[in-house]
Amino acid sequence: MKITLDTNALKYLMDSDPQFVVEVKRNITAGLIRAVAERDAPEIVNQIAPELMAELKKDTTLGFTIREIIERAAKEMISYVRTYNGEPIFKPTDKTRTQIARALQPVIQDATLDLERKAVAAANLRIADMAERITKTVDERVDRAIDTQLEYEINKRVAERLSQALAIAAEKKP
């Protein structure tokens, strides 16, 4: 089942139910750990428990399978919390949390910088659009004012000349 929440619904859930925030964080962390562990298991074991890998390479008569080594390393990374509906729930150890935080920090910083760049670019476009619209509106109003004043002046001068011409014509009439 897939549930899609918009930002407002997610904010409402997070504000109204602190346990929801804890569950979301736990599920995200567990998902990240699971995805990384499945994809990079040998590298993870080598980085987190190099002594185990060295031990395996040094003495192949130990009888440990790769699965056992991975399980031992996973026990160092994840601790059992409780059972929920028969399913175990795990949480990362403090060491794993620190490693995850360290690994995610550059990703979060890059995403933040990218969002900032996009926000600045969008704001600049919006400002440029508004400046263009303001300039156009001012130009139109100035043009209208000039046209109105020009029309008034022309009508005034035409009326004056017409009055003068009619006055001259009236004087010439016997």
Cα–Cα distance between 5 and 28 in angstroms, integer? Answer: 16
Is the pLDDT reported for residue 83 higher than 70?
A: no
Amino acid residing at 153: E
Provide the whole-model pTM: 0.37
- Is the pLDDT at 80 greater than 70? The verdict is no
**Structure tokens given for 42:** 């040998």
Share of residues in the chain with pLDDT > 90 (%):
25
pLDDT digit string, tens, across residues 122-154 = 999 999 999 999 999 999 999 999 999 999 999
Model confidence band, residue 61 (pLDDT cutoffs 50, 70, 90): very low
CB 13 within 8 A of CB 6: no
Highest average pLDDT, of 1-5, 22-26, 63-67, 123-127, comes from: 123-127
Domain-by-domain residue ranges, the chain?
7-92, 112-174
Q: pLDDT for 91-111, tens place per residue?
A: 777 887 788 788 888 888 888
Q: How confident is the model at residue 156 (pLDDT cuts 50, 70, 90)?
A: very high
For residue 79, the cross-strand partners are: 91
Query: DSSP states of 71-136 as a string?
Result: HHHHHHHEEEEEEETTEEEEEE-HHHHHHHHHHHHHHHHHHHHHHHHHHHHHHHHHHHHHHHHHHH
Confidence of residue 42 (pLDDT cuts 50, 70, 90): low
